Structure 1
Amino acid sequence: MILIIGILVFGYLASSLLSGLNLAHLKTSIKRSLPLEVSDLFDQQKVAQIADYTAAKTKLGYWSEFLTTAVVVILFTTGIVPGIALWADGLRIAPLLQGLAVIFILLLIGYLAGIPAALYSDFKLEKKYGFSTITPRTWLGDQAKSLLVSGILMSLLFSGFYLFINWLGTWWWLAAWGLVMAFSFLMIFLSPVVLMPLFNKFMPLEDEELKNKILEMAQRADFPLAGVFQMDASKRSTHDNAFFTGMGKTRRIVFYDTMVKNYSHQELLSVMGHEIGHWKMKHIFKMIAAMSLLSGVLLFAASRILAHPWIYNAIGLGELFGRIGFNGPLIGVALYVVAILFEPLNLIISPLMNWQSRRYEYQSDAYSLKLNPSAGDMKGALIKLSQKNLSNLFPHPLYVVFHYSHPPLLARLKAIDDQVRRNV
């Protein structure tokens, strides 16, 4: 029990320390004379607004993480977790359903703990800075659909894990690993045509001139594009973004409608070139391969941890484990606990994964410059994204290591200039 609580508290303190360093670094940086590359692009009022927005999000993050951590600590220290498991064990239903009942309840409690922060973020903080456009009706609909979809997907994965544990004994992790990999590829294929349309409308790009330019670029890059779409993101937020999604026949480029309205054709083409670069250099599949390898290692470790009674004794379920073994409600509890035990691994894994992701972003920027030699278009798009989204211009280097999957704006602009000089 002490180990579980210690891991939770350590994770919260480490996260809070990094966030505090990041905020302090930003405040110190804007008090100095702004470097020319910043003052030429952002006026003092915009920089101050960025600092205020970053501070507000950081403070909300403190309270949100504190609340969710406190709830989990309470679940373990007050006997609620073993109480839920014993209640489920008394139900006259199949052991698989007992396990599902346990994991559903524990995850639902965690979801409810995050509701206050989500409400404050969407209806107070984001509205204050002109971002949130969501209505209570849309928000409630999103929550209901998210719960339903998450519940279905989680039930399928848990059922697979449960059956493998009962059929394969200590080798269950290997089959579970295969299931996770298959599930990942299936989600990539289905998300653009099944899951994402549940929340947003995706329409073919309305600007025919822009669409033709994009299709010409895709043909020039030998990029098999299933479609170019714009998403009604303005229904919820004024934030700007674009992304590449899908696989095979569902492969597509998606622009937020807010972006289509506010960016020039050449800027959007530079963004498109960047997304094509990710595909050409197989970045997505490389990241999936890395995550698959990691999931295999974690599942193997989980299979060894969950085979020992100490974990059940630690949370007050030793007697139940002695009676039913690793079965029924204990599988639900065990998978929940092991997820907590593995949480600190993010401190080891995230720097490596983020480093690789930032490296891929630089590579995709360089590829886009081959399709669109004008660095001004790409830089213009990145600057607009940063200005519009109030992105932190001066993140702490350590915070970047642990949290940034994309390079900070100034580093990215410098890399583009360096690439242009190399291309000359």
Structure 2
Amino acid sequence: MNTFTLIFIAALAISISVRMWLGQRHLRFVASHRNTVPAAFTDAITLAQHHKAADYTLAKTRLSFLQIIVEAAVLLAFTLGGGLQWLDTALSGAYASEILRNILLITSVMVIGAIIELPLDLYRKFVIENRFGFNTMTFKRFLIDSFMQATIGALLGLPLLFAVLWLMQASGSLWWLYAWLVWVGFNLTLLAIYPTFIAPLFNRFEPMENGTLKSRIEQLLQKCGFTAQGLFVMDGSKRSSHGNAYFTGFGKTKRIVLFDTLLKHLEADEVEAVLAHELGHFKRRHVIKRMAWIFTASLAFLWILNWLMAQTWFFSGLNVTSHTTGMALVLFFLVLPVFTFLLQPLSSLYSRKHEFEADQYAAVQTRAHSLISALTKLYRDNASTLTPDPLYAMFYNSHPDAQQRIARLQTAAHN
């Protein structure tokens, strides 16, 4: 057996084992704290609401076990099971153009993966989310969204894929650098057009009505030195009762978006504090830093792919005999998560650091107590567990533990 085959199997086994172990830890920890509301939240969250958050978390975590198994089975079927090679052989007999064959190979893998994942997605949306009162999406809306996402993905993604595959074939040993430049340009363009051309295809964005809240927000924006194209309310309630707020775009296309569900549950000072937190990400340049990190990592990965394309053991170790650029591309991005999973805590730690910094900014620009109140309501209304397993949270959670977050804000309020 090829040495790389053994390495791949070992890495896959480790990642599956660690993910399952973390999930089991999370289940036990949340269940063991189900009957006690943390002291910092006893005045705002009832035991019944705490029970709901725990049960919601347990349901999602149990589903994640099945998702881990399905993902591993699909990966093995495509690689060691010979699925990718079978697809490539079938396509090579029908299409003479190598770029077209490669595009069809990659899109076939994506479509097959999406179809296999569909039952889990439906169960998550229409069973778990329904059970806990969060889903407001109809099945018709789900079908429309899926069709639109697939259509937009094809319209934007296929030209990008063609460009990358063409560069891989035509631009010599530095193709990875040219492909990276195209990738960066594509993402920056997407960021610029998403707020005004893509997002409105899925949701309605209405300018916030004049009133006390709008005046307070405009004063906050002026105080923070933030200029935006507009302040909009999004009809998030047509899909979910979860609340959120965000700003999107960059340069002159920046806009601030508040979910209608958020405005329904929060007071004016709380909305202001949540928005100040989002502005904190902008003022601390978190978006730019994360983009720089992602672009740097993508450059490194493309360089590694360029090297792997010349290694016969990379293909044979994954039970593939076709050494086309498309096969190399799809193989690399299929197996990459297996080898990078143990690095995930670093990404999560970086994200949590940014959340703490944004909280600190909001506490200075507004009132820490307002943000505490807003976050507590969001934890309650979104049924977010207040007691995640610490090790599970270290791996997966992009936001800090609720108790740590509130404790820091309380300290800031007294300073």
Q: TM-score, normalised by structure 1?
A: 0.92
Of 273, 278, 291 in structure 2, the residue corresponding to residue 275 of structure 1 is: 278
Could you tell me which of 330, 334, 341 is aligned with 2:335?
A: 341
Match of 2:365 among 368, 371, 376: 371
3-state SS of 1:255 partner: strand
SS at match of 1:206: coil
1: distance between equivalents of 2:17 and 2:113?
A: 19
Compared CA separation, residues 184 and 345, structure 1 to 2 (3 A): farther
Q: Indicate if the aligned counterparts of 1:188 and 1:246 stay in contact, CA closer than 8 A.
A: yes
Paired with 2:339 and 2:180, the residues of 1 have a C-alpha distance of 18
Instruction: State the shift of 1:257 in Å.
Output: 0.6
SS of 2:256 mapped into structure 1: strand
Partner of 1:413: 406
The CA distance in 1 between the partners of 2:183 and 2:43, in whole Å, is 48
Query: Does the 8 Å CA contact 2:368/2:412 hold for their aligned counterparts?
Result: no
Q: State the match for 1:234 in structure 2.
A: 237
* Whole-angstrom CA distance in 1 between matches of 2:380 and 2:287: 27
Q: Which residue of 1 aligns with 2:83?
A: 80
Using the alignment, how far apart are the partners of 1:108 and 1:172 within structure 2?
27
Cα drift, residue 184 of structure 1: 2.1
Mapped to 2, the partners of 1:419 and 1:281 lie a distance apart of 18
Deviations 1:364-389 (A, max 9, x none): 111112221x2221111100110011
Indicate the SS of the match to 2:311: coil
| 1:375–1:313 Cα change, 3 Å | closer
2:110 is aligned with 1:107:
yes
Once structures 1 and 2 are overlaid, which stretch shifts more, 278-287 or 330-339? 330-339
Task: Decide which of 22, 25, 40 is 2:26's aligned counterpart.
Answer: 22
Residue 57 of structure 1 pairs with residue 60 of structure 2? yes
Q: Secondary structure at the match of 1:230?
A: strand
Instruction: State how far apart, in whole Å, the 2-side matches of 1:100 and 1:69 are.
Output: 24
- Structure 1 segments, 4+ long, off by >6 Å, are none
Unaligned 5+ segments in structure 2 are none
* Superposition CA RMSD, Å: 1.8
- 8 Å CA contact retained: 1:201, 1:232: yes
Q: Secondary structure at the match of 1:342?
A: helix
Contact kept, 8 Å, 2:30 with 2:58, in 1: the verdict is no
Shift of 1:5: 4.4
Q: Tell me what 1:217 maps to.
A: 220
Give, in whole Å, the separation in 2 of the partners of 1:178 and 1:345.
25
Q: Give the Å deviation of 1:52.
A: 0.8
1:386 aligns with 2:389: no
SS of structure 2 residue aligned to 1:406? coil
Q: CA deviation at 1:337?
A: 1.2
Question: Partner amino acid for 2:115?
Answer: L
Q: C-alpha deviations, 1:41-69, integer Å up to 9, x for none?
A: 32211111111111111111111221232
Note the alpha carbon deviations across 1:87-143, whole angstroms, 9 max, x for none: 222223421111000001011111011100111111111011000011111000111
Matched AA of 1:19: G
**How many residue pairs end up in the alignment?**
411
Match of 1:140 among 125, 143, 151: 143
Change (3 A) 1:10 1:153: farther
Counterpart amino acid of residue 335 in structure 2: L
Cα 1:37/1:333, change in 2 over 3 Å: same
CA distance in 1, matches of 2:60, 2:96: 44
Distance 2:41 2:273 in 1: 22
Deviations 1:232-264 (CA, angstroms, capped at 9, x unpaired)? 111011011111111112101111111111111
Amino acid at match of 1:350: Q
Matches within 5 A, 1:144-183: 144-183=147-186
Residues 4 and 340, structure 1, Cα contact 8 Å, conserved in 2: no
Shift of 1:420: 2.4
SS at the partner of 2:399? coil
The amino acid of 1:308's aligned partner reads: Q
Which amino acid in 2 is paired with 1:362? F
Which residue type is aligned with residue 198 of structure 1? L
Q: For the structure 1 residues 299 and 194, does the alpha-carbon distance in structure 2 shift closer, same or farther, using more than 3 Å as the test?
A: same
Whether the 8 Å CA contact 1:218–1:224 is kept in 2: the answer is yes
Distance between the aligned counterparts of 1:3 and 1:156, measured in 2? 35
Tell me how far 1:331 sits from its aligned partner: 2.2
Q: Normalising by the residue count of structure 2, what TM-score does the alignment of the two structures yield?
A: 0.94
Give the percent of matched residue pairs that are identical in Structure 1 and Structure 2: 29
Q: Is the 8 A contact 1:361 1:407 kept in 2?
A: yes
- 1:37 equivalent to 2:31? Answer no
Q: 2-side partners of 1:67 and 1:317: how far apart? A: 21
Query: d(CA) in 1 for partners of 2:340 and 2:269?
Result: 38
Residues 189-246 of structure 1, C-alpha deviation per residue, up to 9 Å, x if partnerless? 1111122112111111135331222112111211112111111111011011111111
- Tell me which moved more, 149-158 or 97-106: 149-158
- Paired with 2:400 and 2:412, the residues of 1 have a C-alpha distance of 15
What runs of 5+ residues in structure 1 fail to find an aligned partner? Answer: 322-329
One-letter amino acid matched to 1:161: V
| Residue from 101, 125, 128 that aligns with 1:125 | 128
Partner of residue 355 from structure 1, selected from 346, 349, 353: 349
Distance 1:164 1:123 in 2: 42
User: What letter is aligned with 1:358?
Assistant: R
Distance in 2 (alpha carbons) for counterparts of 1:142 and 1:254? 20
